[in-house]
Structure 1
């Protein structure tokens, strides 16, 4: 059991929360008036009384029922802002606690690279095995356009400023300076109060692109090159004879602008815009850094050694200013700036970039050419005894160019397999190949598609009259081909197939890539710089994923494409739809089993496997602490590399500023190294028995989940009525529709609104339902079976992580509040039937957790969550009551702008305060 820190250790957190809450209260009083302030304060006091069982929840609900909507809006805003400020206080406290541990000389904590190096040193690995294991080393957080918040850019900026002000305040003892900082905090929180939290219109994809790009300036440019250099240095110091990390290990990616699965707003123009804005962001950074470097490198040839290559670079710069005759470094960097300016003009005509120079120069064709010139500057500085200068801005710039190049981050393309089949069918019909492609057997489809991959003949022509869908898909792929031709292969490296179930699903995309020139023939076999990646999403698809990959690798044309990528094949695993399909425990086990099977078939086929984890922010969509999640992967599943999606409010929570970004990226790298180089599963020869147990548990959990979600009459009505899922569609949180298809079927609903709706109503059903019944039914009255689960919990990181994440969700759930939402269901019988099942399963699941772990509390192993529950969860109480009241008014016919805005505000506030909500 993890010991909680003493009260003295958490007092600074309470002080910060009191300070920020007090300033917010003053702003509310000054801006909204005494009456609103009194209403907010009364709700706050009532919430704490409810927690102490001194007041009934119905009393607080009745108070809000008597208040007009116009007065409820500022109350919702006040508690929403408090949740956001409390998040900042908690992040600062975590930062402060880590500093305390470091200053005390405590051993490094798990998830810190320092702790990882200690573990690696203890096992005595040889250089060859390390080099082989890390041959494809990659840690790629992939930013996706799946926001579950409505955070405005101004709100984001206020957060950043408040964080920095609080850091300064915590490090000063000067009372006058503290007063100044408090006034500055008041100004920021006043700005927050006067800024509308809710957008008037839905986000456009261009907005999402810009939102994703801001993390590079805020953190990635600063943190990623430094972290990569440190990891490379530490590993090479330990294994100097191994060619470790020939490429940087941390290389972020993005889906924003390329993911069109169910999003009709993505078109050819969007793909081009996403790639061009990413390119501009990279070039802007490089040019700005070069301008600063030119100012800094004032060394005179009269006072230091200058290498011949550096002098030649300076002489070629075109800088003939006599005042700089003896400043070869400045002249050389000026020339580099000139060439990069020309690169920008070539890649992005008409785009203004900072740090450019007017002298006409020939552009760099590739980032490698720019790196070569920067290496000349580096070598000369070191030859002149200025290595410490080379290790500063120049080193960071070289690291940035190595990672971000001219493309910034690879843009993933994604589309549903059903769309590909329709497009291919139309193209084959237009070309006269076959009019009945969709009706062919799988074997016949594969034969036909492989035949197309052996010839260069196109299936269409520019003047072909095609359906709107096919013309759009081809337009997107042609835009992608243009991006690759202009910016380079690194700009678009992956094409993901949603709902991939067969070899033909994979080959259809390869044929489409051939159609636009992204795939060509080499000695009769296809080659492509874009790798096609199957995404296995449902429980059944996960179970069949290994068979699909085996069959694909047996096709010579597909194997040729894998070989062209140095024998590496990536596979994506879907956490969201598998959970929605089969429930929490069944989905987690299906993913684990799928990884085991994929590892086995890839080894048998002699290919290297890279897994791409489609995790959401919430536990119901694969969320939870990333370090623990990676260590919970089965043996061989990481192999030195992984990609994972970063979604929703989790992106801002992890990467909005350098300290947070460093900590979270470091945890990803630490877990990747440990999972690759150490035995972390801990089951040994008992693995098979453990797997059999979980096969049985998963089936029982899935049956329990499906009885509720898929087999209970009226469940969909209960879900849509007792949660704000219908209203989520009106919350302007993203460009993507809430459903893949215009139906009310659970299967067609996107996982984000499914999870977000249950989170808002505090049921949190996707993060636990079915587990309690599975454990209860499997264990029965057999103490040996219970002991076997206890033993697995102690030994097996996978099981420990599953239960820990589930406990986090259960701790955030509140069935008394959920009961208020259930009252929105008018059909009494339906309400009692469905909610009754939820209550019973919740009790079974909590009991199962306690029996297996031995903990009395759901947060016994999570002191950070325990602090959060204690310090700020009472402030969520008013938001839930406000939401229910406003939903009731809205559904009773009070369809006004104020009511709609109020509902959206409560949704925003709850998503922010609960942190991992969607």
Structure 2
């Protein structure tokens, strides 16, 4: 609910900005004859009586826009406040950013070279996904972005009063367009729509954001007493690369076919080559140096001659342009050397040479840089060429690598069908999917020792097998044409045994994704486990140990290390926050993840392999969100050594990266956070914290309380009636279904609609439930340990992060609103029983967090409470209206009047949008 920037919002400025935007909105409404609506917005007005207002949908839209304007004002306030703080107090005044991270480096005893080496080890990999948590249309998001940018434009003090008036008219005009644009989706977005949305950020936001972030790093580096000349090549700086799941995530998504994956890989490559070509063209327009005034040097002239000969006529044409300007001529040759974006496309003029990998282009950019440095033009090289080199380093010829994710059960079904089709077993033999783990291992080990495939070109193995094999064949074909840069990992969701991972090697063998190193089979693409539930996290160290011990994994990791030119073998492991939270609640999920990471890091050390954790975080506290710098500090010792991958899902992409200032801030939090972790660990040995056993006890008690609630008879009925999950499932906010298999159990329901539903009804259950019972049990059984927890709740990062997140989750909950939604439960006895448990835990959690903070929550988090108070009136009206209309909608369905019920859905979807805007989160 609360944005990570809320602690640095200047609420007085936010109030002024909000007043300005809302006055523009009211002015627009009045011009359109909506004076009554303008006068009753929930900010000093009387509020809208939704039950008697003649046009309910318009009133709901007004509320939705009102909350979005409030959010924009607060976002701009936070951004401007950060700039003011930096200007007045220096970059080190802001927690979690480069200035604060690098300032104490020399005090910690690191030399300039040691610090530079540490920074070069920083690897951050954001992964953009299209989970159905974005409730707003892409068109509406674009309009919001336009209004926000106009609000930022208004900050410039150069505008005259007349020009300020023009900006106001632009804002009002954009608001009118927004008002006349429908807010809800009448059909689910296609995968192509989601891919275009992701590509927007990759093409238009992140390249400039990286350049801005690098400049901030250089300034902080110099402020720490070092020279910016320490960074000579892009590899000296922290690495940032992007990935995507759109078009590759097939877990429970039947629309992600092999054709969609192929289309996605081609589209991303096309956009990437276009991005780099445009950047080279821009560089060429600025690099107008003449050889009449300086000598370009033998290296550049020699490379130009080589490229010119390789390209024949096209090479001659490239150097005929820009006569006596060899640096421009060299850029012309680089542009004609860019690879084809589409498989099989030729140059069109007989030229056979093209860059095969982005590394080759980086090599030529390095030659260009050295030539400029040799003539004393270091500043030009640093300001013009270095940013382009970073763009090539980060985006390559693929824009973002595409991960492929599939559920382990689908792999089991596919392999069962494959074995049956190949005739590799007797008729009465147990099917693979029903085998014990021991039998599966025997079969897999036997098959992996053999190079022969199961299938023949004319063989049909059934839909599950063909789906898996078809996807892998697309990857194989792409790699043959373009190399591996555009391919991420093969992620196995719901990994529950080592056979779930080894089976992927068989599919790779069938489709040309296996190679050989020193006579041993190796998989070209990394196979990555995804541990999601509490039980799977507990088993993860044993599964990882067995996987790393397997000879195919050993040879695969070594092959991948050599191919990538890495110094260390790296094993990626994905850990899930959403399902573990849904499974065990906030405290148990967070601590189970911490313990699993610790144990897997130890497994990696035994196998001389660096573990890179891939954090599957969502946009809410219940799904792993929280202040980025605190999240990274709360990681176990060594957890950042292999770099950090993390998902950015649904609405969080727009919230964090819609404009460059916010994008720079949020990326810098990750980059500086990982750097800070590596810097601290370079000077401190690993040591167990004495509170870890106490946390084990808290986790166990919290799990027991949480499971008691969700396993109480009738709980699922309570959930389905008290929370608007049926409306959310009917909403068209993502291309992927809300259920994995279409079943009606709680286990089958994805974590996203689970959290989304509880948030809409203001229970925020998975963000705090169980914490109070755990703290109470510890206080009663071991008062000394509880007192130790109380004293250190702000000192030990893992504990601080958990308690702080529980505090935020509790702040998002509202007892009076909970009771309102609980009134939808038809059976009074069930309603009273479950609500009694929830209210008891709510009071218990509030009481004990008050004790840990030594003051009431109302005074502990003034900004959080101010955030809530500004929205309380409007949200209250919306909650009451939503509950009333849900009851009417369900009654129509019960009476068999489906057509009338369906007619209500647009209005109900608008309530979901409006409440999500007010809470600033869905799930």
TM-score past 0.5 threshold: yes
| In structure 2, C-alpha distance between the alignment counterparts of 1:458 and 1:631, rounded to whole Å | 47
1:320-331 pair list within 5 angstroms: 324-331=322-329
| In structure 1, C-alpha distance between the alignment counterparts of 2:123 and 2:136, rounded to whole Å | 30
8 Å CA contact 2:96–2:673 kept in 1: the answer is yes
| In structure 1, C-alpha distance between the alignment counterparts of 2:738 and 2:850, rounded to whole Å | 36
- Which residue of structure 2 lines up, in the alignment, with residue 645 of structure 1? 647
1:836-915 pair list within 5 angstroms: 836-857=836-857, 860-861=860-861, 864-893=863-892, 895=900, 899-915=904-920
Flag the 1:718–1:6 CA change in 2: closer, same or farther, 3 A: closer
Asked whether 1:100 is paired with 2:84, we answer yes
- Which residue of structure 2 lines up, in the alignment, with residue 768 of structure 1? 768
Asked whether 1:377 is paired with 2:378, we answer no
| In structure 2, C-alpha distance between the alignment counterparts of 1:858 and 1:613, rounded to whole Å | 32
Q: Which moved more, 1:898-907 or 1:428-437?
A: 428-437
| In structure 2, C-alpha distance between the alignment counterparts of 1:579 and 1:816, rounded to whole Å | 25
Q: Gaps (5+ residues) in structure 1?
A: 48-59, 351-355
Residue of 501, 505, 517 corresponding to 1:506: 501
Flag the 1:486–1:225 CA change in 2: closer, same or farther, 3 A: farther
Residue of 190, 194, 217 corresponding to 1:208: 194
| In structure 2, C-alpha distance between the alignment counterparts of 1:675 and 1:891, rounded to whole Å | 52
Q: What secondary structure is seen at the aligned counterpart in 1 of 2:731?
A: coil
- Which residue of structure 2 lines up, in the alignment, with residue 339 of structure 1? 337
- Which residue of structure 2 lines up, in the alignment, with residue 52 of structure 1? none
Flag the 1:527–1:781 CA change in 2: closer, same or farther, 3 A: closer
Q: What secondary structure is seen at the aligned counterpart in 2 of 1:140?
A: strand
| 1:26-81 deviations in Å (ceiling 9; x for gaps) | 2233336234445x43796346xxxxxxxxxxxx8xx433446xx11111101111
Flag the 1:565–1:333 CA change in 2: closer, same or farther, 3 A: closer
- Which residue of structure 2 lines up, in the alignment, with residue 148 of structure 1? 133
- Which residue of structure 1 lines up, in the alignment, with residue 63 of structure 2? 79
8 Å CA contact 2:98–2:668 kept in 1: the answer is yes
Asked whether 1:467 is paired with 2:465, we answer no
Flag the 1:154–1:599 CA change in 2: closer, same or farther, 3 A: same
What TM-score, normalized by structure 2, do the two folds share? Answer: 0.91
- Which residue of structure 2 lines up, in the alignment, with residue 190 of structure 1? 176
Taking only aligned residues, the RMSD between alpha carbons, in angstroms, comes to: 3.0
Flag the 1:609–1:902 CA change in 2: closer, same or farther, 3 A: same
- Which residue of structure 1 lines up, in the alignment, with residue 378 of structure 2? 387
Residue of 559, 563, 570 corresponding to 1:564: 559
| In structure 2, C-alpha distance between the alignment counterparts of 1:303 and 1:155, rounded to whole Å | 53
| 1:86-114 deviations in Å (ceiling 9; x for gaps) | 11111111111112212212543211111
| In structure 2, C-alpha distance between the alignment counterparts of 1:358 and 1:184, rounded to whole Å | 48
8 Å CA contact 1:147–1:733 kept in 2: the answer is yes
Q: Which moved more, 1:299-308 or 1:495-504?
A: 299-308
Flag the 1:586–1:578 CA change in 2: closer, same or farther, 3 A: same
| In structure 2, C-alpha distance between the alignment counterparts of 1:241 and 1:495, rounded to whole Å | 34
- Which residue of structure 2 lines up, in the alignment, with residue 138 of structure 1? 123
Q: Which moved more, 1:425-434 or 1:747-756?
A: 425-434
| In structure 1, C-alpha distance between the alignment counterparts of 2:201 and 2:229, rounded to whole Å | 33
Residue of 399, 414, 421 corresponding to 2:405: 414
8 Å CA contact 2:116–2:236 kept in 1: the answer is no
Asked whether 1:522 is paired with 2:517, we answer yes
1:634-783 pair list within 5 angstroms: 634-678=636-680, 687=689, 689-710=690-711, 712-780=712-780, 783=783
| 1:376-429 deviations in Å (ceiling 9; x for gaps) | 332223333333222233322211111211111111111111111121122223
8 Å CA contact 2:577–2:624 kept in 1: the answer is yes
| In structure 1, C-alpha distance between the alignment counterparts of 2:344 and 2:627, rounded to whole Å | 39
| In structure 2, C-alpha distance between the alignment counterparts of 1:671 and 1:793, rounded to whole Å | 21
Q: Which moved more, 1:23-32 or 1:93-102?
A: 23-32
- Which residue of structure 2 lines up, in the alignment, with residue 429 of structure 1? 420
8 Å CA contact 1:261–1:416 kept in 2: the answer is yes
8 Å CA contact 2:118–2:675 kept in 1: the answer is no
Q: Which moved more, 1:565-574 or 1:231-240?
A: 231-240
8 Å CA contact 2:131–2:734 kept in 1: the answer is yes
- Which residue of structure 2 lines up, in the alignment, with residue 576 of structure 1? 578
Q: Which moved more, 1:228-237 or 1:623-632?
A: 228-237
| In structure 2, C-alpha distance between the alignment counterparts of 1:766 and 1:8, rounded to whole Å | 27
| 1:318-348 deviations in Å (ceiling 9; x for gaps) | 22786732222332222222222xx235548
| In structure 1, C-alpha distance between the alignment counterparts of 2:627 and 2:682, rounded to whole Å | 16
**How far did residue 854 of structure 1 move?**
1.2
Flag the 1:147–1:391 CA change in 2: closer, same or farther, 3 A: farther
**How far did residue 357 of structure 1 move?**
10
Residue of 590, 595, 602 corresponding to 1:593: 595
Asked whether 1:797 is paired with 2:797, we answer yes
1:19-34 pair list within 5 angstroms: 19-31=20-32, 33-34=34-35
- Which residue of structure 2 lines up, in the alignment, with residue 608 of structure 1? 610
Flag the 1:217–1:686 CA change in 2: closer, same or farther, 3 A: closer
Flag the 1:431–1:216 CA change in 2: closer, same or farther, 3 A: same
| In structure 1, C-alpha distance between the alignment counterparts of 2:290 and 2:9, rounded to whole Å | 56
| In structure 2, C-alpha distance between the alignment counterparts of 1:211 and 1:6, rounded to whole Å | 29
Q: Which moved more, 1:14-23 or 1:439-448?
A: 439-448
Q: What secondary structure is seen at the aligned counterpart in 2 of 1:300?
A: coil
8 Å CA contact 2:125–2:645 kept in 1: the answer is yes
- Which residue of structure 2 lines up, in the alignment, with residue 55 of structure 1? none
8 Å CA contact 2:501–2:529 kept in 1: the answer is yes
| In structure 1, C-alpha distance between the alignment counterparts of 2:234 and 2:442, rounded to whole Å | 41
Flag the 1:761–1:8 CA change in 2: closer, same or farther, 3 A: closer
Flag the 1:151–1:266 CA change in 2: closer, same or farther, 3 A: same
**How far did residue 147 of structure 1 move?**
3.5
| 1:229-286 deviations in Å (ceiling 9; x for gaps) | 7658949959969999557511121111111111111110111121111111211111
Asked whether 1:281 is paired with 2:271, we answer yes
Q: What secondary structure is seen at the aligned counterpart in 2 of 1:411?
A: strand
8 Å CA contact 1:128–1:242 kept in 2: the answer is no
8 Å CA contact 1:681–1:797 kept in 2: the answer is no
- Which residue of structure 2 lines up, in the alignment, with residue 117 of structure 1? 102
Q: Which moved more, 1:149-158 or 1:789-798?
A: 149-158
Asked whether 1:486 is paired with 2:492, we answer no
| In structure 2, C-alpha distance between the alignment counterparts of 1:371 and 1:804, rounded to whole Å | 44
**How far did residue 888 of structure 1 move?**
2.2
Q: What secondary structure is seen at the aligned counterpart in 2 of 1:737?
A: coil
- Which residue of structure 2 lines up, in the alignment, with residue 54 of structure 1? none
| In structure 2, C-alpha distance between the alignment counterparts of 1:23 and 1:77, rounded to whole Å | 16
| 1:103-146 deviations in Å (ceiling 9; x for gaps) | 21254321111111013322113689768867753111111111
Q: What secondary structure is seen at the aligned counterpart in 1 of 2:527?
A: strand
**How far did residue 597 of structure 1 move?**
1.0
**How far did residue 891 of structure 1 move?**
1.6
**How far did residue 858 of structure 1 move?**
5.1
8 Å CA contact 2:694–2:785 kept in 1: the answer is no
- Which residue of structure 2 lines up, in the alignment, with residue 220 of structure 1? 206
**How far did residue 628 of structure 1 move?**
0.9
Matched residue count? 888
Flag the 1:504–1:224 CA change in 2: closer, same or farther, 3 A: same
8 Å CA contact 2:120–2:237 kept in 1: the answer is no
| In structure 2, C-alpha distance between the alignment counterparts of 1:759 and 1:5, rounded to whole Å | 19
1:305-316 pair list within 5 angstroms: 305-312=295-302, 316=308
- Which residue of structure 1 lines up, in the alignment, with residue 450 of structure 2? 455
Q: Gaps (5+ residues) in structure 2?
A: 309-314, 562-568
**How far did residue 901 of structure 1 move?**
0.9
| In structure 1, C-alpha distance between the alignment counterparts of 2:137 and 2:572, rounded to whole Å | 35
| In structure 1, C-alpha distance between the alignment counterparts of 2:109 and 2:679, rounded to whole Å | 11
8 Å CA contact 1:228–1:250 kept in 2: the answer is no
